[in-house]
Amino acid sequence: MAPEALDGTAVLLRLAWRRDRWLIPAWVIGLAAMAGISASATVDLYPNEASRIEAAGALNASAAVVALYGRVYDPTSRAPAGSAGWHR
């Protein structure tokens, strides 16, 4: 590859960063907030162990959901977010 092929790359990268310097952090903060809100909503949606067991049975009965998210092995656990099972 000839050095001329990369002429202007640094200028374009600086322009892209200047243009997106507020947009990128806003997206990162927004996605992190949505993850936290989603976790909180899940805890509120299934407040007791019986409701978590019932929901886990329904989720495990759907092959599509299991293919996307994996099987819920222990709906009674209080595993941290991102682990197998439910969290609280």
The domains of the chain are located at 9-45, 48-88
At residue 87, the pLDDT reads: 44
Asked if residues 80 and 87 have their Cβ atoms less than 8 Å apart, the reply is yes
- pLDDT tier for residue 59 given thresholds of 50, 70 and 90: very high
For the chain, give the mean pLDDT: 84
Please say if the pLDDT value at position 60 is more than 90. yes
Closest CA to 39 of 83, 78, 87: 87
Global pTM reads 0.55
Cα–Cα distance measured from residue 77 to residue 52, given in angstroms and rounded to the nearest whole number: 10
Q: Which two tokens stand for residue 75?
A: 């709906």
**pLDDT tens for residues 10-42?**
999 999 989 989 999 999 999 999 999 988 888
Asked if residues 52 and 79 have their Cβ atoms less than 8 Å apart, the reply is no
